[in-house]
Amino acid sequence: MAIAGNGNSEAIKSAKADIISYLPRDVIANILKRMPIQYVVRTSMLSRKWRYNWSTIPELEFGQQFFENFDSVSIISKLLLLHSGPILKFVLQIPSNISFTEREVIDINQWILFLSRNGLKELTFENSSGVFWKPYKLPSHLFSCLQLTHLKLRRCSLFPSVKFEGFPNLINLELHSVALAPELFRGFFFRCPRLERLIVETYGASDQLYIHSPNLRHLHASGSLRSISIENAQGLITLTISSCCPLRDLEHSRSSNMIKLLGRLPNLEKLSLDYFLHKYLAAGDVPKRLPAALNSLKMLALSKIDFRNSYGEISSAICLIRSSPNLQELEISAYNNDHSAVSDPGIEFWEEKCTMGQLRTVKFTSVEGLTTELKFIKYILACSPLLEKVYVEREEVADASAGLMTGFMISKELMRKMATGFGKSKMVHSVTKDVISNLPTNVIENILGRVPIQEAVKTSILSRKWLLNWSTLPELVFDRQFFDLLKSRNSESKFVRVLNKVLLLHNGVNGPILKLVLCVPDLLSKNEEDISEWILLLSRKGVKELTLACLFPFTGEDVY
C-alpha cells in the first residue's frame, strides 16, 4: 500500500510539473483556434504531448498578419503536408504587397487539390496581389469540394465545366470581382439549391445577374451591373442592389421594370436601392401600386433619388411606399447633380394618399430644399399617423441663406405635423390639442435661433403661446439676407419702420438683446439719426456683442 501511495504521489507531482499536457482536448482546440497560425505551430515546443496538436486543427487562416512574417508561401505547403486531420475551414488572403512566382501559383493550385480531399466546408480566397494583372483562374479541383457550405472569392475567375452539377450544400456565397462566363453565370446559382445568402460585387467581370434560387433569403448585388433578373426567389428577405452604371433597356422597356423586379417577392422585409436602380424602375409604366403588396416589408432605403427633373423616380418611390402597408422605417436621400428647373409632378400626383400605420422612423438626407422634396416630405408626414422620429439632414449649399430657408420650411412642416398628425397617438387630450405650445423652452429657442429674424417673427401665428416667443430672442441679426427679402416686398423707405417695430416689440425685461448684427444698406447709411437711436436702445438692453456694417452695392463689400 505504501508503494502504491508513493506511486500516486509521484504521478501527481509529475502532473503538476506538466499541467499544460493534461488540459482537456476541447480546451486545447479552443486555445489554438484563437491564435495566428505561425504561433500555433510553435506550440509544438510547449510539451511532448503538444508536439502534434497543431496538426489536427480543423481551421487554417493565412491572412495579412501571416504574410507580414513570411515572404514566401512555401511554408504553407509544408504546413499542409504535415497536417493530419480534416481541414474544415481554409482562409487565404493575399495582400497587395505580395508577388508570386509561377511556381508559387502552381502551389496554390495544389493546395486547393489537397483541400478538396480533406472535407473542406468553408473556403475564403481573396486575391489583392498586384502580380495578378488578370484574375487568378481557380483550378477545376474546386468543383470537387461538394461539401462546401461557405465560399468567398475575390479577384479570380471561375470556369466550371459543362458537367458541373453545382455545390449541393452551399449556403453562403460571396463573389467579389469574379469573372464567370455569362452562359454559366445564369445557371450557377440554380445549381446551388440550398443557397441562402449571396453577395455579388462585379467590376468589369460578369455584369449580368440572373437569380433563380428558391431558398435564397439575403441578396446583396453591387458594382457594374448591366442587367438583373430575379426569378423564383419567393423566400428573399433582404435585397440590396446598387450599380455604378446604367442598366440596359432603360429607354425601351415597354412593361414595368418595377413589377418585373419586385412584383414576386412576397416575403421581402428589407429593401435598399440606389441611383441607377431608381432610373431602371422608372423606365416603362410605373404603377400606382404593385399588383401584390409587399406586406412583409419593414425597412425601405432609397438613396440618391433625383427630385429635380425625374418624375419617374419620384413615382417609383411613391409606388414602393404605397405598396408597403407595414413599413416601419424609411430612409430617403436626394441627389441633385445639376441646376436645371424643377419638374413638379403636379397636384393630382400628391392627392392620392395612403396610410402607413406602422411607420415609426423616417430619415431624409441631402435635402436641398426643392419644392418636390418638401412636397415629398409633407406627403410622407401626412400618411404616417403614428410617426415617432423624423431625421432631416440638409445638403451643404454655398448659399447660406437658402440653407436657412430650407431648414425653416422643413421645421414648419414638422411643427405642423406635431400639431395635427402626432395628436392621433395615445397622448393626454389636453396636450394633443396644441402640441406645439408644449414644446420645451430650449427646443423653442433652438428653433427660433436657426431661422431668419423675419421668419422668427412670423412664428407668432403658430400658437397662442408662441405669440411673443420671438420677442425674447437674445440675438438679432439684420443682415444682407434680411434686406434682400424686404426689398422684394417693400419699398426701401420702409426698412427703418420695420426695424423700429422689431426693436420696439422686443421684450428686453425677460429677454435682453445680448448680440445684434446690423448690416445697413447704402441707402440707410446716411440716416444717422435712426442708427443712433437704435444704438441708444441697445445700450439699455444689455448688449454685449454689436456688429455694424454698411453695404455698398457696387463693390459688394461690407465696411465696418
Cβ within 8 Å of residue 164, ≥6 positions away = 143, 191
- The mean predicted confidence, pLDDT, of the chain is 77
**Low-confidence winner among 50-54, 171-175, 223-227 (lowest mean pLDDT):** 50-54
| 345 band by pLDDT with thresholds 50, 70 and 90 | low
Q: What percent of the chain has pLDDT over 90?
A: 19
The pLDDT of residue 415 is above 60? no
Domain ranges across the chain: 25-158, 474-559
Say what the pLDDT of residue 215 is: 92
Say what the pLDDT of residue 558 is: 46
Give yes or no for a contact between 330 and 380, defined as CB atoms under 8 angstroms apart. Answer: yes
Backbone torsion region of residue 105, taken as left when φ is above 0, otherwise alpha when ψ lies between -120 and 50, otherwise beta: alpha
Give the pTM: 0.69
> What is the Cα–Cα distance from 14 to 8, expressed in whole angstroms?
10
Condensed to tens digits (0 to 9), the pLDDT of residues 443-487 reads 787 788 777 787 788 777 776 777 778 888 888 888 777 776 665
Q: How many angstroms from the chain centroid is the CA of residue 47?
A: 51
Q: What's the whole-number mean pLDDT along residues 42-55? A: 66
Condensed to tens digits (0 to 9), the pLDDT of residues 186-237 reads 677 888 999 999 999 987 656 778 888 889 999 999 988 888 888 888 999 9
Say what the pLDDT of residue 348 is: 61
Beta bridge partners of 270: 238, 299
> What is the Cα–Cα distance from 10 to 439, expressed in whole angstroms?
80
> What is the Cα–Cα distance from 284 to 256, expressed in whole angstroms?
5
Say what the pLDDT of residue 103 is: 76
The CA angle 504-506-510, to the nearest 5 degrees, is 135
Q: Which residue has the higher pLDDT, 101 or 359?
A: 359
SS (H, E, C) 314-337: HHHHHHHHHCCCCCCEEEEEECCC
